[in-house]
Amino acid sequence: MKFIDEVTLFTASGHGGAGCVAFRHEKFIEFGGPSGGDGGKGGDVIFVATSGLSTLLELRHRPHQKAEKGHNGMGKNRHGAGGEDLVIKVPVGTVVKDAETDEPLADLTEDGQKVILLKGGRGGQGNARFATATNKAPKFSQPGEEGEERKLRLELKLMADVGLLGLPNAGKSSLISKISAARPKIADYPFTTMVPSLGVVAYKNYRSFVVADIPGIIEGAHAGAGLGHRFLKHLERSGILLHLVDISWMPERDPLAEYQAVCRELALFSPELAAKEQVVVITKTDLPQTQERLAEIRAWFEGQKITVFPISSATGEGVEALLDEIARRLWADRDKG
């Protein structure tokens, strides 16, 4: 399925039904009086989060959505039926914004969470409502209220406890496939991962956490280089960021400069995201060239008071210690909460 994480919708709630002008006409009943019923309420526009969806693809093909209008009132004091609500199902983690002002309207973070964003118009009153002692036969009624219209932008932000961050080919997809059942494409060329993916890590004592893998970030992403900043929003909900660093390319490339470049790109995208807790993971320790320079690179990070976890997704070396550290930090935060 194609991964779509942004879509624009033109939505409208239903108009209220018009009130009716009618009079009672029955044999042997003189001056039956007004009997016009009220119009029905227009349908609301309701957004519902569901864990059964993982993309906004379906909505992309139906950009115009409108709730049903209320039915008009009828004679014999019969009220019109209310319009059917428009229920729009979205994946958990969807943020709904006003497309014109960029104002956040709803953040749907739980399965089954429901929010009414556009309310249907009220139905107009029939002429039976306006009968008084001085006006026993009113010949007027109310029209129904108009519904609301709004242009909305939906953004999906993946719900994950841990986010994987790093340059292309740093080993992010290899790691998520090692620790979870996720099977992203893995190859030895840049930008193998083109869309984000989620993996559930089954930890000890029946505990689990969710990891998000996004396409690699390169220097200049804020200016559109590579795949740009588009997918960084999927890390905003993560409690911990794993920053994967590949040192096997030394001395052709400087991994420390690349690490700092990715951190700068984070700050340019969102200072809040850049301030999140990071764990540095040095990958591909099964390679001889990585082992040769591991001590040097590790010393630099520890000099910056940054804890480093060397791992190999191919052999599994260091992976269990990394998972233990992630679990310790995650559940320490949850216990505090």
- β pairing state of 240-245 and 308-310: unpaired
Is 213 marked within a binding site? yes
Q: Flag whether pLDDT at 115 surpasses 60.
A: yes
Domain-ending residue, one of 112, 140, 156: 156
| pLDDT the model gives residue 74 | 96
Q: Taking residues 211-217, what's their average pLDDT?
A: 85
Pick the range with the lowest mean pLDDT from 96-110, 203-217, 223-237: 223-237
> Rounded to an integer, what distance in angstroms lies between the CA atom of residue 118 and that of residue 47?
10
Q: Evaluate whether residue 285 is within a structural domain.
A: yes
Q: Judge contact between 106 and 51, C-beta under 8 A.
A: no
**For residue 304, which amino acid is it?**
Q
pLDDT at 172 over 70: yes
Is position 201 within any domain? yes
CA angle (37 as vertex; 75, 15 as ends), nearest 5: 120
Is 38 annotated to bind ligand? Answer: no
191 annotated ligand binder: yes
What's the pLDDT at 86? 97
Residue found by looking up tokens 């807790």 in the block: 277
Q: Is residue 175 located within the same domain as residue 317?
A: yes
Instruction: Indicate the angle between helix axes 288-303 and 255-269, nearest 10 degrees.
Output: 60
192 a known binding residue?
Answer: yes
Is residue 215 annotated as involved in ligand binding? yes
Q: Is 23 annotated as a binding residue?
A: no
My answer on whether 56 and 98 are in the same domain is yes
Residue 185 has pLDDT above 80, yes or no: no
Residue 199 has pLDDT above 60, yes or no: yes
pLDDT score of 28? 77
Is 194 labelled a binding residue?
Answer: yes
Query: Is 41 annotated to bind ligand?
Result: no
The response to whether 284 counts as a known ligand-binding position is yes
At 190 the pLDDT is: 52
In a domain, 298, yes or no: yes
Domain CATH for 180: 3.40.50.300
What was the pLDDT predicted at 198?
83
Residue 283 assigned as binding residue:
yes
**Which of 111, 141, 156 finishes a domain?**
156
Q: Is 216 annotated as a binding residue?
A: yes
Residue 235 pLDDT grade (very low, low, confident, very high; cuts 50, 70, 90) = confident
The pLDDT of 68-79, averaged and rounded, is 96
> Which residues form the domain of 186?
162-333
Quick one: 251 and 107 in the same domain?
A: no
Overall average pLDDT of the 301-329 stretch: 91
Residues 202 and 254 in one domain: yes
Non-local (6+) Cβ contacts of 168 within 8 A are: 190, 191, 192, 193, 215, 216, 218, 226
Is 228 annotated as ligand-binding? no
Q: Please, which pLDDT band fits residue 186 given cuts at 50, 70 and 90?
A: low
Known binding residue 209? Answer is: no
Pairing assessment for the beta strands 149-156 and 94-98 based on DSSP bridges: antiparallel
Q: What is the pLDDT of residue 169?
A: 84
Q: Do 92 and 140 have their domain in common?
A: yes
Contacts of 187 (CB under 8 A, 6+ apart): none
Answer whether residue 311 shows pLDDT above 90.
yes
What CATH number does residue 44 fall under? Answer: 2.70.210.12
Q: What type of residue sits at position 32?
A: G
Q: What is the count of structural domains for the chain?
A: 2
Please say whether the beta carbons of 215 and 231 come within 8 A.
yes
pTM of the full structure: 0.78
Tell whether residue 39 is among the known ligand binding residues: no
122 and 187 share one domain: no
Read off the pLDDT of residues 9-40 as tens digits, 9 standing for 90 and up: 999 999 999 999 999 888 877 778 899 999 99
On whether 246 is known to bind a ligand per the annotation, the reply is no
In a domain, residue 1? The reply is no
Arithmetic mean of pLDDT, 95-122: 95
Tell me, yes or no, whether 315 and 172 share the same domain: yes
Does position 299 have pLDDT exceeding 70, yes or no? Answer: yes
My answer on whether 222 and 303 are in the same domain is yes
Binding residue per annotation — 50?
A: no
Does 167 count as an annotated binding residue? yes
pLDDT above 70 for 1: no
* Average pLDDT score, the chain: 88
Do 134 and 169 sit in the same domain of this protein?
no
pLDDT of residue 228: 59
2 is in an annotated binding site: no
Question: Residues 99, 104, 109, 114: what is their CA dihedral angle, to the nearest 10 degrees?
Answer: -80
